[in-house]
Chains A and B, each alone.
Chain A
């Protein structure tokens, strides 16, 4: 049933079974069984909270390695704008772009360039008659998956435009094929330098029937260490940044929204804040707004788990970097006022309800009644020792046959106490 390929995985040899990741998982996708965490692939949204919170580095992101670019004849780097915020004392983005060439890429296409184009498209899209408002950004793949699993009613609010990573990949490929007619499409390797595992999942799974144009996703932290060895102020620079403030600002929460030059926007960051905003939108409990920007990571993409720098320091660096940059270097051509057809999604992923008990409502009701009953008999302290994040989740696991009641140490302690009482009672009567 589950065909979604994830990019968050666990190294069992490092996992101590400590329950920290389980407690932080926003979709209750983790259970600790036999002293080791397990991720339920149907519930996981690749948000990376478990990677962020694991003290033992047991949770990992599954990305491509940098060496994999070698299998392509022509290698194009797609740096996410958050990359530029990772370096101390950087005063010019061009050093990073040059660095990418120096570590082995043949060309660089900045995702921030595509982001400025997507911002221009979005401004036009928001003026379309009859669209469902607020329009919800589809740039963060965690959000689109979360909506597919948990907020099906908001599906029609999703902006049907490709995110900057995909627009960048598609433009980079088109430009390269035009400039190098000797190359075939499969000779070109498009490598996204990612701040988060969710982008890697997106590249593998696509969106609905849309297949990603990104060939490889390499983690920002891997590329960072390669870059700091080659970046040098004394080297000549052969390419210049093709984006301005708007593109760069997509890396921080509020950047995508403020590019719309519209005050009817809302921007939220951090997965739990995002979930509560979505709940309120679903209940119709929001002021009239046109656009909602949602970022799963704290601070926006600069808070991704594959970044090096603290998100707030990174944000400050971006502010400094963009100070003398033009507002935007990319916009719609003068006489064009429509969005090209190929930049739209054609369909959405199917609604896959998160942890539905059964396909039959009657059966689900029977199970839920049992769960309620079991839940009442549990201590309710949500200690996590049983390996489930809450007593409620544990009750569910028991009823569905995934856990044993005696996994609850409080219940087990009571049982043991009773046993001892009975035994000592028996001894006493024997003694008298």
Chain B
């Protein structure tokens, strides 16, 4: 038996009623594995923000969470529009969310900054027109 564990989720795009379900499931799994509450919270906030981003901007994507020795890695991949200016996107309050999304209470421009704040490592790989892959790590 290998000592890593992976969870794979398909995140449905444009469906707000199911958005956030993958992070709730990850939270349940981590709890069952016996992680401490703070680690669980950091992972679930980072993942929730990323999951919502994929729904809002990219029409969905995939989420893979790997639990390794000492580290939980979250990889979020989509084939959406990509991020033109990553530095700008990382600024608190910067948002490109359309109005219909903002009326639902999303799009405050805190998604990426929060993901960075709650993780120990974050890397964004993005090509305009092709998609975005975000890798985050939370050490435990």
Contact = CB atoms under 8 A, between A and B. Distances in A.
A182 B34 CA distance: 54
A355 B33 CA distance: 9
A333 B41 CA distance: 41
B73 to A, nearest CB: 14
B55 interface: no
A358 B34 contact: yes
Interface stretch (B24-32, B79-87, B127-135): B24-32
A364 B36 CA distance: 13
B29 A356 contact: no
Contact of A357 (B20, B23, B32): B32
B3 interface: yes
A362 B114 CA distance: 29
Contact of B34 (A282, A284, A287, A360): A360
Interface string A354-383: 111111111011101110100000000000
Contacts, number: 63
A355 B32 contact: yes
Contact of A150 (B31, B34, B44, B67): B31
B6 to A, nearest CB: 9
Contact of B45 (A284, A357, A361, A366): A284
Contacts of A365: 3-5, 33, 67
A356 B41 contact: no
A107 interface: no
B34 A283 contact: no
Interface residues of A, number: 28
Interface in B12-29: 20, 23-24, 27, 29
B1 A369 contact: yes
Given A153-B37, A153-B38, A369-B1, A283 B32 contact: no
A351 B3 CA distance: 27
A369 B6 CA distance: 8
A353 interface: yes
Interface string A271-311: 00000000110111101000000000000000000000000
B33 A357 contact: yes
A280 B48 CA distance: 10
Contact of B20 (A283, A361, A364, A369): A283
Nearest to A357: B32
Contacts of A360: 34
The 4 closest A-B CB pairs, nearest first, are: A152-B37, A364-B33, A283-B48, A153-B37
Given A283-B44, A355-B32, A368-B33, 9 more contacts: A152-B37, A279-B27, A282-B44, A353-B31, A353-B34, A354-B31, A357-B33, A361-B33, A365-B4
16 contacts: A153-B37, A279-B20, A279-B24, A279-B27, A282-B41, A283-B45, A353-B31, A354-B31, A355-B32, A356-B32, A356-B34, A357-B34, A358-B34, A364-B34, A365-B67, A366-B1
Interface of B: 1-5, 20, 23-24, 27, 29, 31-35, 37-38, 40-41, 44-45, 48, 67, 105, 114
Interface of A: 150, 152-153, 279-280, 282-285, 287, 351, 353-362, 364-366, 368-370, 372
